[in-house]
Amino acid sequence: MKQDFFNVDNIAYEGSESKNPLAFKHYDAGEKIGGKVMEEHLRFAVAYWHTMRNPLSDPFGVGTAQMPWDDGSDSIDNARQRVRVFFQFLEKLGVDYYCFHDRDVAPEADSLAETNAQLDAVVATLKEEQERTGKRLLWGTASLFTHPRYVHGAATSCNADVFAYAAAQVKKAMEITHELGGLGYTFWGGREGYSTLLNTDMRRELDHLAKFLHMAVDWKKQIGFQGQFYIEPKPMEPTTHQYDSDAAACLNFLREYDLLDHFKLNLETNHATLAGHTMQHDLTVAANAGALGSVDANTGDLFLGWDTDQFPTDIYQTTQIMLIVLEMGGFTTGGLNFDAKRRRESFEPVDLFHAHIGGMDTFARGLKIAHAIREDGRLAEFVKRRYQSWDSGIGDAIESGLAGFEDLEGYALENGEPVNVSGRQEMLENLINEFI
């Protein structure tokens, strides 16, 4: 592509002394942290929907984003032009992965057949650009929430025809993800939930959702798609209650319907906090189940109670995330997808760079700090010692199933009042701050 719409050079690492706003201060793709270079640890991805398609509108005002490359039409030429600009952006930013919804890349036509044909046409351009640049698809997905047909949900719609339509759409989205060599496929249940229980048969809707996912698993086998399936939890918005509300709810659903072997979770920071959890909490729940797959890297606003999808800037938070990612041995198929948008006031194309540079540098620092905390070892050692009563004696007997209530009564009568020691929360908070 000849025309450069950004007027920005490739973003380089200049080190922490640099005052250049269009440079990395901490993210140095090739720098080794532990056994791996930073780009392999962090596996950043850019979200097509926010970067290329989000006009930055809000409930009170129209979009403000300047997109000089976009003629505003639903033509295939325009869709292809966006793809080329997007890859130019990935190249300049130095990010290797991206994620998209089917409807982000190609417009919906009057019939499903026509829509699929349009999608194929744009996928050919995506493929060309992937081959030209070596960039890869971290995961694909289908938008089952934008079109009015999904007003009552998709797989959980009261209308069986809508279920069928959604199945056809996901089938196609899986096929193009496969064709593009995608490393994963995400299910976010945009409208899989309810606005009121007065009109809802929850049991039936959940059974249908499970059927839908089983069909997807079958289709995956049939087409030989080896990528990882993810479920992305979110508690609410657009619906009052979403069935995939948090990590624990998703895991319970997957276990109940015998789907756990086929799915991992894609956790989003702003969704965890909307659910009333820290991201650290949801990550830990998923990791404990061996189901932590990928991360939608963003953050919410302390004062706004909705999914504001802001770029991560909080080093404390990225440190907590990277502590858990390092503890599980790093990402395999997943990565850090910036499911994040600029503020409505940041409408110039160059702001896309500032936003991503900030997110990447914040995660680079989180990675370095988390690695240093692990090398230091005091935190892990403290936790290990806190549970040492379980390593021998009565604790060991309980854990090994050798003691029952009677044995424990005998032990407690003999042992007298247990002696506790402090949890030292403040000391540990100070310890973390030593590294930040």
104 contact, one of ligand XLS, Ni ion, none, CB 5-8 Å limit per kind: none
**Nearest-CB residue for ligand XLS:** 188
Q: Which of 26, 50, 96, 104 is catalytic?
A: 104
Tell the smallest beta-carbon distance from residue 297 to Ni ion (Å).
9
Q: Is the dihedral of CA 206, 273, 428, 432 positive or negative?
A: positive
Q: How far apart are CB 336 and ligand XLS at their closest, in Å?
A: 13
Burial code of 329-341, b = ≥16 C-beta within 10 A, e = fewer?
ebbebbbbbbbbb
**104 belongs to the catalytic site:** yes
Q: Which is nearer to ligand XLS, 188 or 194 (CB)?
A: 188
Q: Which one, 246 or 339, has the nearer CB to Ni ion?
A: 339
Rule CB under 6 A: which residues touch ligand XLS? 101, 141, 186, 188, 232, 234, 268, 296, 307, 339
Give the residues across from 23 on adjacent strands. 12
- How open is the CA angle 412-418-420, to the nearest 5 degrees? 155
User: 200, 209 in Cβ contact below 8 A?
Assistant: no
171 or 374, CB closer to ligand XLS?
A: 171
**CB-wise, 282 or 339, nearer to Ni ion?**
339
Closest contact distance (angstroms) between CB of 72 and ligand XLS is: 23
Q: Of these partners, Ni ion, ligand XLS, none, which one is at the site of residue 141 (CB under 5 to 8 Å by kind)?
A: ligand XLS
Do 106 and 78 contact (CB within 8 A), yes or no? no
Out of 26, 41, 50, 101, pick the active-site residue: 101
Tokens of 147: 């079109």
Max distance between CA atoms of the chain, in angstroms, equals: 83
Cβ proximity to Ni ion: between 24 and 331 the closer is 331
Q: Around 265, how many Cα atoms within 13 Å sit in the side-chain half-sphere?
A: 30
| Residue numbers at the binding site for Ni ion (CB under 5 A) | 268, 296, 307, 339
Burial 131-169 (b: 16+ CB within 10 A, else e): eeeebbbbbbbbbbbeeeebebbbbbbeeeebbebbbeb
Residue 271 C-beta: closest distance to Ni ion, Å:
6
Q: Are 279 and 269 in contact (CB under 8 A)?
A: yes
What is the distance in angstroms between the CA of the first residue and the CA of the last residue of the chain?
Answer: 42
Looking at the Cβ atoms of 102 and 339, the one nearer to Ni ion is: 339
Measuring CA to CA, which residue among 334, 335, 333, 352 is closest to residue 343?
352
Per DSSP, the three-state class of 245 is coil
Indicate if 396 belongs to the active site: no
Tell the smallest beta-carbon distance from residue 49 to ligand XLS (Å): 6
Angle between helices 425-435 and 315-327 (to 10 degrees): 100
Least Å from the CB of residue 362 to ligand XLS: 19
Catalytic residues: 101, 104
